[in-house]
Amino acid sequence: MNTRLTWICHGATAASRKALFPLDEPLEDKASEEAARMTALPRADRIVTSPALRARQTATALRLDAQIEQRLADCDNGRWAGRPIAAIGTEEPENLMAWMSDPEAAPHGGDSFLGLRTRVAGWMDEQSTLGGHVIAVTHASIIRTAIAHVLQAPLPSFWLVDVEPLVVVRMTSNGQRWSLRL
């Protein structure tokens, strides 16, 4: 069964502009306007969004009637949420390095990358069995994880993929494997 998956990264927020670990913050006004100007998306059999406010606002700006999908929630950054990434690098360099290099590490009390990949891959595998076209409005961390999963890349490669706000990434599945479509 063939499945098309269209990922859309939510628009920019104050946290993304300031290099902060995100909280559940709203979109910047400009981001809502940019999303509203995006070209029409193809018809989809299922449209889902992360439960985060910024993802739901992006779906609304895109005029998508999306259902909330908990498994597309952003990476849980635990006690680092809302804090500058640079500050964590200065205050807890060993913890930050462990989190970035060890897929099982979660020194902040949130998600490990292994856990994140398991969650995202499980959701993608479920979509593959359902077939059709799915549009998913979510976060850069989820899309980067999906790309690493599809490419069967080591988890630290997560850091080598840059996902901009409002980017659209397409994938397809033939029911046996996923492919990145450019």
Element (H, E) at 9: strand 3-9
Written as one letter, the residue type at 153 is: A
Q: What pTM value is reported for the model?
A: 0.95
Asked if residue 40 has pLDDT above 90, the reply is: no
Average pLDDT on 57-61 reads 97
- Confidence band for 155, pLDDT divided at 50, 70 and 90: confident
Q: Are 162 and 32 in contact (CB under 8 A)?
A: no
CATH 3.30.420.40 is the classification of domain 3-181: no
